[in-house]
Structure 1
Amino acid sequence: MVKPFASSADLTEKTETLEVLAEGVYALTAEGDPNVGAIEGEDFLVCFEARATPVMARRWLERLREHTDKPVRYLVLSHYHAVRVLGASAFDADAIVAHTETRRLVAERGAQDWESEFRRMPRLFTGHESIPGLTWPTLTFTDRLHIELGGDRGALELRWLGRGHTAGDLVAWLPRDRVAFAGDLVETGSAVYTGDAYHHAWLRTLDEVAGLGATTLVGGRGEVARGRDAVDEAIGLTRRFLTTLIGCVAAVQRSGGTIREAYQAADEALSPVYGDMPIYTHVLPFDVERAWEELAGEEHPEIWTAARDREVWDALTATT
């Protein structure tokens, strides 16, 4: 027998909480579902992440409109995963902003990722029939992009700090308020998805995230980290997940063991801390597969398809 596939059995709606992080700075968290955010400019909005469908995006925008009616000028996508981007059309943004690598990944694997994530996490794709097609960035950058917010609001800095969760993850940084939106580079009280990751590079990128000196951090999932200690703990929790995963998979690989043995070793090591956190059971088989692949010398992640998802899942999670 096998475990229910990925998050296909997770049908319980989560409570969404809108938080005001600073004047004109907002985050919506949802008990481990993907987080989204927004930053007010003088006469416009910058929204961060798009959710999986226009229907889901409009739910977020309805909450945001309780605080501001400014139009969305920029929609910033932290990376390319379908669950983060396919709701973009609901924002009617003047520009859809992403890293150049994110645009490349949409072209390379966007369609396959859409089908994969829809099957893995169907609840997050409520209103999937409203998706008009792949989301294509219209404004890209390679290092940094500054968005002047106007008045005395300062600037929003979009930074690529290195490979990590994908090749193109970016961080939105508000120096004035010391608020960072880190996307899935950092998770707060959640397990970590690494199926498209560059594990060792990610550890170096986390050093760069820590170096920002944020006192408020919105990760990809989980609660907002408030205060420097909480920010450091979120980064540390993400780092420990990665180092434990890499260590377990590398040890089994060096000993001539199998990938199934690597999965079992990683589960034994990670589950005491992360086992009850959101998406842990879902992500672990895909994480181990990518770690095994990378440690075997495959620099770039293989494309996940719906068929490959089930093959990996069944091979690693089947019980006798």
Structure 2
Amino acid sequence: MTRAFASQGDTGDKTVSFTEIGDGLYAFTAEGDPNSGVIVGDESVMVIEAQATPRLARQVIDCIRGVTDKPVSHIVLTHYHAVRVLGASAFDAGQIIMSEKARSMVVERGQEDWDSEFARFPRLFEGHEEIPGLTWPTTTFQGRMSVYLGNRRVDLMQPGRAHTAGDIVAYVPDQNVMFTGDIVEYHSACYCGDGHFHDWTGTLDNIRRWNLDAIAPGRGDALLGRKMVDAALDSTADFVTSTYNAVAKVALRGGSLKDAMAACRAECDPKFGDYAIYEHCLPFNVARAYDEARDIDTPRIWTAERDREMWEALQE
């Protein structure tokens, strides 16, 4: 029997948690669904990641209103993926910030990514009729910039390519806390379909050098304390390395994509098979690792049509 495409069979609601990870800092998590972060400043609030739809964004807003009545002034989007950005209109923020590279990826592949993710994960796009269109930043940067929420400084940085070529993190120095987006995951599979395997572990090392007290990862529970932070960095690195090495061995000897999938399962299923969205991510991860092993540096654009062709090719 052919498996349901991607996460089309994932229809159950997730339990939301809103965890304080520092003074005025919160992680909005939902059992492996995309996380958001909240930074409360002196007069306003910054939100990290806007969710997939205004409907989901309002869940974040409800949590914010439980701790402050300050307005949301800034949205920071760690990368361009539809499940992270298309809910931005609900916050009515004056500033939407991305890296310059992430904005270029919206130009290049934003609509295709929206169409692709909509087909992959329909539950996350319930209420999609409210989405006004692609989300565009008001502000972009390269390398690093700082935003001041009154006296509270938030440093936005590009630590290196990983989940995408345009990834950024948000660091709050007064609490030594970082919001990493999908560069770091916790008990959730990394989605590597637009990733850069050769760079990812080095980017994780760059984050590790901060000796952080807490991290809000892209998916999974908030990471409180250095022991938990290190465990998540280690498991993310292991996931990325195990996936790539298994696939590359097959690709470099001329094996098929289906052979690469089998090799990846043999290596990764025992270690990561119980992770959230593991089955969802696996075929996209294998396809990207197979390409990168053959020196295709820029991830090929995923379209709804390409998604289905790849999925069907990998089924028994």
- Please name the residue that 1:197 is paired with: 195
TM-score, length-scaled by structure 2: 0.98
- Please name the residue that 1:160 is paired with: 158
- Please name the residue that 2:172 is paired with: 174
Distance 1:171 1:289 in 2: 26
Instruction: Give the deviation of 1:204 after TM superposition.
Output: 1.1
The C-alpha deviation readout for 1:248-293, integer Å capped at 9, x for no partner, is: 1111123322111111110111011110111100101000101111
Q: Please tell me the residue identity of whatever aligns with 1:89.
A: S
How many positions carry a matched residue from both structures?
316
Instruction: Give the deviation of 1:222 after TM superposition.
Output: 0.3
Q: Please tell me the residue identity of whatever aligns with 2:24.
A: G
Instruction: Give the deviation of 1:168 after TM superposition.
Output: 0.6
Q: In the alignment, is residue 304 of structure 1 matched against residue 302 of structure 2?
A: yes
- Please name the residue that 2:254 is paired with: 256
Distance 2:49 2:211 in 1: 22
Distance 2:255 2:148 in 1: 53
Q: Please tell me the residue identity of whatever aligns with 1:313.
A: W
Please show how residues 164-313 of structure 1 align to structure 2 within 5 Å: 164-313=162-311
Instruction: Give the deviation of 1:63 after TM superposition.
Output: 1.6
Contact persistence 2:189–2:278 (CA under 8 A)? yes
Contact persistence 2:170–2:179 (CA under 8 A)? yes
| 2:212 alignment partner, SS class | coil
Contact persistence 2:252–2:294 (CA under 8 A)? no
The C-alpha deviation readout for 1:55-92, integer Å capped at 9, x for no partner, is: 11012101210111111111000100000000000011
Instruction: Give the deviation of 1:191 after TM superposition.
Output: 0.8
| 1:283 alignment partner, SS class | helix
Contact persistence 2:283–2:311 (CA under 8 A)? yes
Q: Please tell me the residue identity of whatever aligns with 1:56.
A: L
- Please name the residue that 1:124 is paired with: 124
Distance 1:243 1:112 in 2: 28
Instruction: Give the deviation of 1:211 after TM superposition.
Output: 1.1
| 2:28 alignment partner, SS class | strand
The C-alpha deviation readout for 1:159-197, integer Å capped at 9, x for no partner, is: 101111001110111111111110000001111100001
- Please name the residue that 1:76 is paired with: 76
Distance 2:223 2:261 in 1: 30
Distance 2:60 2:126 in 1: 13
Distance 1:128 1:100 in 2: 26
Q: In the alignment, is residue 101 of structure 1 matched against residue 90 of structure 2?
A: no
User: Identity rate of aligned residues, in percent?
Assistant: 48
Provide structure 2 residue ranges, at least 5 long, that are not aligned to the other structure.
none
Instruction: Give the deviation of 1:294 after TM superposition.
Output: 1.2
Runs of 4+ in structure 1 off by over 4 angstroms are none
Which of 180-189 and 206-215 deviates more?
Answer: 206-215
Contact persistence 2:193–2:285 (CA under 8 A)? yes
Instruction: Give the deviation of 1:149 after TM superposition.
Output: 2.7
Q: Please tell me the residue identity of whatever aligns with 1:185.
A: I
Instruction: Give the deviation of 1:24 after TM superposition.
Output: 1.1
| 2:180 alignment partner, SS class | strand
Distance 1:134 1:73 in 2: 20
Give RMSD over aligned pairs: 0.9
Distance 1:256 1:147 in 2: 49
Instruction: Give the deviation of 1:21 after TM superposition.
Output: 1.5
TM-score, length-scaled by structure 1: 0.97
Q: Please tell me the residue identity of whatever aligns with 1:199.
A: F
Contact persistence 2:252–2:293 (CA under 8 A)? no
Q: Please tell me the residue identity of whatever aligns with 1:91.
A: F
- Please name the residue that 1:37 is paired with: 37
